Structure 1
Amino acid sequence: MEPARNTRPLVASIADVQASLDSRRIAIDKVGIKDIRHPVRVRDRARGEQHTIATFNMYVYLPHNFKGTHMSRFVEILNGHEEEISVASFQTMLGEMAERLESEAGHIEMRFPYFIKKQAPISGVASLLDYEVSFIGEVRDGEPKMYIEVVVPVTSLCPCSKEIAAYGAHNQRSHVTVRIRNRGFIWIEELIELIEREASCEIFGLLKRPDEKYVTERAYNNPKFVEDMVRDVAARLNQDDRVGAYVVEAENFESIHNHSAYALVERDKEVEAPTNAGRAHPAPG
C-alpha cells in the first residue's frame, strides 16, 4: 500500500513587511487597534464580581525606523487573558504588550458599563443604574501608570436661578467625570458615591412619587454651580491619601440654554502643593 501523502501545502517564507525599514524618519506616538469588544469580569463591592463587556483601545509607540506594528499581536494579548481581566491583570497585560511589540511605550484603555443597584430614598424600591467606567494604563521605559475613570450622571440646580426667581429654579442632568491615579485600593463604588454626595442630588433608575418629591426638594435645597461641583469633589479627593493624582470635570447640559456649562480641576499631589480654594500650583524649587 502506498504511504499516505502529506497533502498540506508547503508554505514559502512570508515577508514581514511591518518589520521592514522606513526612511521617512517620523516616529508614531500611538499605533494599534481601537474599539475592540471583549468580555471581562470586574470586582464588585456588593456581589464580589460583575460580568460586563469592555471596549478596548490598545496602542504602542513606533520608532521612526520601523514601517509598521504587528496588529494581530494586540488581539492575541487580549484573548490570552480570556475573562480574567482585573486591575492587576490589566497592568500585566500592559507590560506584556510593550514587550511583545518591542516598544518603549504602550497605552491601553478599557471602557465598560458598570451597574449598581440603588434604592430610592423614600420608597426603597430598587433599580439598576449604569455608569461608564474606564481603566487606563500607560507604560514608558518599563514604568507603568494606572488610572481609573468614572462618569457619573447627577442633578444640578442653579443657585443664581433660585436666588432671582420668584418661584422655582432651573435644573438639569449633569455629568461629573473623575480620573484618578490611585496609590491604594479604591472601590469603583466609593468614587461614584463621593461624586454623588457633592451634586445637588444623585439620580436613580426608578422613583415613586414620594421619591420624586424628595429628590426635587433635595436639589432645590442644595443648589450647585458647575464650579461648585468640581471644587467640592476636588476637596474630597485632596483629603484621600489613596489618591495620588486626579482630574475632575463637570458638564451641565443646561435646560434653558443651547449650550453646556463646563469646569475642570486637575492636580498631581506628588509634584504639586495645594493653595487657596483647592487649586494646585507647582511647589517652589
Structure 2
Amino acid sequence: MSHQLPDVQATSPEVTVGLNRVGVTGVDKLVKIAREDDRPIVLTAEFEVFVDLPSWRKGADMSRNMEVIDETLEEATREEAYRVEDVCGDAAERLLEKHDYTSRAEVSMTAEFMRREHTPASDRETQHTVDVVASATATDEGTREEIGARVTGMTVCPCSQGMSVARAKQKLEDLDVEAEVITEFLDEIPQPGHSQRGHATLAIEADGAPDVDLNDVIDVARDSMSAHIYNLAKRPDEDHMTYEAHANAKFVEDCVRSMAEGVLEEFGHLPDDAVITMSQSNDESIHQHNAHAERVVEMGTLRAEVNGED
C-alpha cells in the first residue's frame, strides 16, 4: 500500500512575501544549432531558469522546473534549433504554462562558440572564441527574447599616444626635419600608446525574437575595438595587429559609441522598442584598475541620438 508524499512547496510560508526570481542555475546541456547546407553547431550551454513566486506559496516546484528544462532542451537538441534565443523562449513559455501560480518565467544561457577565420597577413586558418549569451522572458502578454555575444579584442589609449606624438614631433623638429615631412611621417607611422585587451558585449532584445544573425552581432562587437586579435599569429600578423590598433586608437567610451554606430548600420530594421545593451571593459596595462563604459538604450532613442535629433 503506497502513501502520498506531501507537497510542502504548495503550503503557505510563515512570512508572506512574494519573490521575483526563484529557480535553478548551473544547468548544463548540449544544444544543436542548425545551419543551412552545413553541419549543425553543437554548444555546451549553461542555463539559468527562474519563475516568480506569489506571497502565499512556500516554494517553487524545483523538480517540475528541471523536468520542463530537461524536456525542452532535449527536444531542442534533437530537432536542431535555428536560434539559441528560441531555445530559451520555448523553455520560458513551457515554464509559464506548467506553473499555474507563475506570472513570469525567465530562461537564460551562456555558451562558448568557436568561429573559424584566417589570420590577417599570413592567411593561416585559425579559430576565435566567443561567449554567446541568450535569454527569454515569458509573461501572459507575450515573450521577449535576447541574443548577444561577448568578444575580446585590442585597444590603444589615444591619450598616451598623443604624448608620444608630441615627443616624436619635438625630436624631429630638433633634428631640423621639415614640417611637411614631420606631418607626413606622423600620419603614416602611428606612435606608441599603451594597449589593453578589451572585452566588448553586445546584446539585442525584442518582442518575440530579434531579427538578427548571431554572426552579425559578433562582428559589430568585434569591430568596435581598435583591432581584432587572433589565437594564431605569425610575425606578419603581429605587425598587422599592432599597426592597425595604433592607427585606430580608442578610449573605452569610443568603443561603445563605435558599437552604437555599428548597430544602426547593421540592424537599422529593428523596431524602436528593441533594447540594445552595449558595454566595453578594458584590462588596463599600465594601471591596476580597469576601464568600463556601457549603455542600455531603446533602438528609437539610439537612432535619434546618432542622427542628432532632439
TM-score normalised to the size of structure 1?
Answer: 0.88
Aligned to 1:255, the other structure's residue is in SS state: coil
Map residues 178-193 of structure 1 onto 2, 5 A cutoff.
Answer: 178-182=202-206, 184-193=210-219
1:241 equivalent in structure 2: 268
Q: 2:32·2:43 contact (CA, 8 Å) conserved in 1? A: yes
What is the alpha-carbon distance in structure 1 between the residues aligned to residue 210 and residue 143 of structure 2?
15
What is the alpha-carbon distance in structure 1 between the residues aligned to residue 308 and residue 58 of structure 2?
44
More strand by share: 1
Residue 116 of structure 1 aligns with an amino acid whose one-letter code is: R
2:29 equivalent in structure 1: 38
2:199 equivalent in structure 1: 175
Return the match for 2:62 from 68, 71, 78.
Answer: 71
Q: Deviations over 1:51-82 (max 9, x none)?
A: 02100000000000000011011221122131
What is the alpha-carbon distance in structure 2 between the residues aligned to residue 274 and residue 235 of structure 1?
9
Aligned to 2:220, the other structure's residue is in SS state: helix
Q: 2:145·2:210 contact (CA, 8 Å) conserved in 1? A: no
What is the alpha-carbon distance in structure 2 between the residues aligned to residue 205 and residue 273 of structure 1?
34
Query: How far 1:127 sits from its partner (Å)?
Result: 1.3
2:223 equivalent in structure 1: 197
What is the alpha-carbon distance in structure 2 between the residues aligned to residue 275 and residue 88 of structure 1?
30
Residue 32 of structure 1 aligns with an amino acid whose one-letter code is: G
Question: Is residue 109 of structure 2 the alignment partner of residue 114 of structure 1?
Answer: no
Residue 206 of structure 1 aligns with an amino acid whose one-letter code is: L
What is the alpha-carbon distance in structure 2 between the residues aligned to residue 77 and residue 55 of structure 1?
15
Q: Deviations over 1:83-120 (max 9, x none)?
A: 14543343222111112122100111111001101110
Q: 2:131·2:151 contact (CA, 8 Å) conserved in 1? A: yes
Aligned to 1:121, the other structure's residue is in SS state: coil
Map residues 205-284 of structure 1 onto 2, 5 A cutoff.
Answer: 205-239=231-265, 240-243=267-270, 244-269=274-299, 272=301, 274-276=303-305
Residue 219 of structure 1 aligns with an amino acid whose one-letter code is: A
Map residues 97-176 of structure 1 onto 2, 5 A cutoff.
Answer: 97-102=95-100, 103-165=102-164, 166=167, 167-176=191-200
Q: Deviations over 1:120-162 (max 9, x none)?
A: 0011111121111111111222421100121010100111111
Residue 59 of structure 2 aligns with an amino acid whose one-letter code is: G
1:19 equivalent in structure 2: 10
Query: How far 1:195 sits from its partner (Å)?
Result: 1.9
What is the alpha-carbon distance in structure 1 between the residues aligned to residue 10 and residue 309 of structure 2?
45
Query: How far 1:25 sits from its partner (Å)?
Result: 2.0
TM-score normalised to the size of structure 2?
Answer: 0.81
Q: 1:155·1:172 contact (CA, 8 Å) conserved in 2? A: yes
1:5 equivalent in structure 2: none
Q: 2:148·2:217 contact (CA, 8 Å) conserved in 1? A: no
1:57 equivalent in structure 2: 48
CA spacing shift, 1:87–1:45, aligned 2, 3 Å: farther
Aligned length: 271
After superposing the two structures, state which structure 1 stretch, 127-136 or 43-52, moved more: 43-52
Residue 87 of structure 1 aligns with an amino acid whose one-letter code is: E
Q: 1:123·1:210 contact (CA, 8 Å) conserved in 2? A: yes
- Percent sequence identity over aligned pairs: 24
Q: 1:250·1:264 contact (CA, 8 Å) conserved in 2? A: yes
Query: How far 1:273 sits from its partner (Å)?
Result: 6.2
What is the alpha-carbon distance in structure 2 between the residues aligned to residue 39 and residue 134 of structure 1?
15
Q: 1:235·1:278 contact (CA, 8 Å) conserved in 2? A: no
What is the alpha-carbon distance in structure 2 between the residues aligned to residue 265 and residue 152 of structure 1?
17
Runs of 5+ consecutive residues of structure 1 not aligned to the other structure: 1-9
CA spacing shift, 1:188–1:120, aligned 2, 3 Å: same
Runs of 5+ consecutive residues of structure 2 not aligned to the other structure: 168-190
1:6 equivalent in structure 2: none
Aligned to 1:189, the other structure's residue is in SS state: helix
What is the alpha-carbon distance in structure 2 between the residues aligned to residue 280 and residue 100 of structure 1?
46
Aligned to 1:18, the other structure's residue is in SS state: helix
Q: Deviations over 1:230-278 (max 9, x none)?
A: 01111221342344220100001100000111111221125x4644457
